[in-house]
Amino acid sequence: MEALLARLDTIVTNPDLAPFLALAKAVRNGAVYGAKVRFPHALVMIFLFRSGTIREKTKLVLKATRQHARNLATFALIYKSSMLALRNINPSEVGKERRFDSFFAGLLGGYAVFGRKKTSVTQQIVIYVFARVILAAAKLSVQPDMHPLSSLITPEARTEIEKHAWPAFASLSWAFVMYIFRWHPDTLMSSLKSSMVYIYSDCDNWDSFRNFMIHNK
């Protein structure tokens, strides 16, 4: 066993194999991270808000966990493979990463894994990523030398924008989601809609102390 482990250590520490071994580890890390993130979330949401037997709910939890893990693992494989290919596609700059390689690798992985089929899991992941992209873009928009108008933003103005940006973003986000929930609830994701119904609509209905405070319905 020790000889086998020593042999494996020699293989995985070979610098010539590093770019290809990174693909395997990316798949491994994507699957593990996806399972760690999705399992507790699915466990809570499905057992609290879904109807059905324990067996049916358990199957749904495992299905969501497997799908999330598979999506992240597949995306990691496509992204890292594309980055490796793009670094070696230009004969004059073999092995050199160019500025937009990550953009095109992400574009390919995003379409292949998340763009071709919309499910509740893929939709949640994409929306999560999109929200982070918007926040990052907002931060970059006031940084020096990021765009032609950057020079017009003084350090004092930048400080004020950064000070008030989050309160404005948080307030408007909740203002819009509550308006949509009130007048166009069917346009919201089912998980968000069900949680909002539970909090903001079911509180208007009861006929005894039991379903007023002890149980919801």
Query: Could you tell me if residue 146 is inside a domain?
Result: no
The answer to whether residues 16 and 100 belong to one domain is: yes
The residue out of 116, 134, 166 marking a domain boundary is 116
Question: Do the Cβ atoms of 23 and 77 come closer than 8 Å?
Answer: yes
User: What is the tens place of the pLDDT at every residue in 51-91?
Assistant: 899 999 999 999 999 999 999 999 999 999 999 999 888 76
**Amino acid in the structure at residue 185:** P
CA dihedral sign of residues 40, 42, 43, 49:
positive
Which residue spans within the chain are E strands per DSSP?
none
Which residue spans within 65-156 are E strands per DSSP?
none
Query: Could you tell me if residue 129 is inside a domain?
Result: no
CA nearest to 22, candidates 7, 35, 12, 32: 12
The answer to whether residues 2 and 86 belong to one domain is: yes
Distance CA 216, CA 204 (A): 10
Structural domain boundaries enclosing 198: 185-217
Question: Do the Cβ atoms of 199 and 178 come closer than 8 Å?
Answer: no
The residue out of 66, 83, 116 marking a domain boundary is 116
User: What is the tens place of the pLDDT at every residue in 93-150?
Assistant: 777 888 899 999 999 999 999 999 888 889 989 999 999 999 899 889 988 888 888 8
Global pTM reads 0.81
